[in-house]
């Protein structure tokens, strides 16, 4: 039996688990690249699409709380800007309840204090909207700066370019980054909201595979926590399962030692 046949058999075994979304990023990438070129596996995969749906549907059904609808719709804002939640779990229903109390009780000391609280929350909401807008603007500026230069353009335009988005980790929850990777031409990374580095430290970018963690380069954000890095000498990197950014001693290290600030699974 040829190695291709062996590979086909091994991957075919994994198709059902792949179809329900239960493989890791690394396993998933292998299956996907095989299925693209194998019509038999693609056909078999399709048989499991309703199994994946059914697993989601057979859970005990519960109606979401009525206030959630208002909260969801309010969060999308009037100007099409989404507010990242994640802070206090459920202020929106409370806000709605508070507003109703204001109407029904009328003006009393209680209502006044509620009104004050509502005012504060409204202020916070406006600030959050502004922050989101600012964040988006910065990412756009960074992306434009990246696209303007010649080298990143060639990476971004590479036929084999892939995008991997990185999310902030508990040490830097508001940080985010986007990498564009071309095996033949290198890596472009733009990041925003990275915490300021202490003296003698640097951020380091890693490609993580199931076998190794490969250093891609060092990142020095500006005072606003932004960085656009063009790592055009980082060619022939291995196919990553994940991409991560850690904090390390100045000059970088051969293997990661510090806390992880950003990470994203490669798709």
Partner 1 sequence: MWLLAALAAVGDVEAAAADRDALARVVRGDHDALAEIYDRHARLLYSLALRILRRPTDAEDVIQEVFSQVWRQAGRYDTSRGTVVGWLVTVARSRALDRLRRDRGEPPSADIELVSRDVVDPGAMVDLQLVDAEQAARVRAALGALPETQRVPLELAYYEGLSQTAIAARLETPLGTIKTRMRQALLRLRDALAEQGR
Per CB under 8 A, contacts with partner 1 among 39-68 are 45-65, 68
Smallest gap from residue 126 Cβ to partner 1 (A) = 17
Site residues for partner 1, 186-245, by CB under 8 A, read 206, 208-210, 213, 241-242, 244
Tell me if 197 sits within 8 A of 249, measured CB to CB.
no
- What tokens does 33 get? 């690249």
**Phi, psi (deg, nearest 5) at residue 29:** -60, -40
Taking CB under 8 A as the rule, does residue 265 contact partner 1?
A: yes
Smallest gap from residue 52 Cβ to partner 1 (A) = 4
Smallest gap from residue 117 Cβ to partner 1 (A) = 20
Q: Which of 113/140 has CB closer to partner 1?
A: 140
**Phi, psi (deg, nearest 5) at residue 264:** -150, 140
Q: Which of 211/223 has CB closer to partner 1?
A: 211
* Angle at CA of residue 90, ends 78 and 62, nearest 5°: 100
Q: Which of 115/213 has CB closer to partner 1?
A: 213
Site residues for partner 1, 113-172, by CB under 8 A, read 169-171
Q: Which of 75/154 has CB closer to partner 1?
A: 75
Q: What is the dihedral of CA 112, 115, 121, 122, to 10 degrees?
A: -140
Closest Cα to residue 176, out of 119, 123, 135, 219?
135
Smallest gap from residue 182 Cβ to partner 1 (A) = 21
- Among residues 83, 96, 101, 141, which is the contact residue for partner 1, using CB under 8 A? 83
Smallest gap from residue 4 Cβ to partner 1 (A) = 20
Size of the site for partner 1 (CB under 8 A): 71
Smallest gap from residue 144 Cβ to partner 1 (A) = 18
Instruction: Give, for 148, the enclosing helix (H) or strand (E).
Output: helix 109-148
Instruction: Give, for 247, the enclosing helix (H) or strand (E).
Output: strand 242-249
Q: Which of 75/151 has CB closer to partner 1?
A: 75
Tell me if 18 sits within 8 A of 28, measured CB to CB.
yes
**Phi-psi map region of 192: left, alpha, beta (phi>0 left; psi -120 to 50 alpha):** beta
Q: Which of 201/222 has CB closer to partner 1?
A: 201
Distances (CA, A) of 107 to 100, 103, 114, 261: 12, 9, 10, 48
């Amino acid at each position: 039996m040829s190695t291709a046949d062996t590979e086909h058999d091994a991957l075919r075994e994994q198709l059902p688990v792949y179809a329900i979304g239960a493989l890791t990023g690394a396993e998933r990438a292998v299956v996907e690249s095989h299925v693209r070129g194998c019509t038999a596996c693609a056909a078999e995969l399709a048989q499991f699409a309703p199994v994946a749906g059914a697993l989601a549907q057979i859970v005990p059904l519960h109606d979401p709380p009525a206030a959630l609808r208002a909260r969801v719709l309010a969060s999308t804002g009037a100007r099409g800007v989404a507010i990242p939640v994640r802070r206090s779990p459920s202020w929106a229903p409370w806000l709605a309840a508070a507003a109703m109390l204001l109407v029904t009780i009328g003006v009393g000391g209680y209502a006044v204090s509620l009104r004050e609280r509502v005012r504060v929350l409204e202020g916070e909401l406006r600030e959050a909207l502004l922050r989101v807008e600012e964040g988006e603007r910065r990412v756009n500026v960074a992306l434009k700066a990246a696209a303007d230069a010649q080298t990143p353009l060639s990476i971004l335009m590479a036929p084999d370019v892939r995008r991997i988005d990185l999310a902030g980790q508990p040490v830097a929850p508001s940080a985010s980054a986007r990498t564009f990777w071309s095996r033949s031409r290198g890596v472009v990374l733009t990041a925003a909201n990275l915490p300021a580095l202490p003296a003698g430290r640097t951020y380091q970018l890693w490609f993580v595979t199931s076998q190794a963690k490969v250093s891609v380069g060092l990142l020095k954000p500006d005072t606003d926590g932004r960085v656009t890095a063009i790592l055009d000498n980082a060619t022939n990197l291995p196919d990553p399962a994940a991409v991560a950014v850690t904090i390390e001693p100045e000059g970088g290290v051969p293997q990661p030692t510090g806390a992880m600030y950003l990470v994203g699974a490669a798709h």
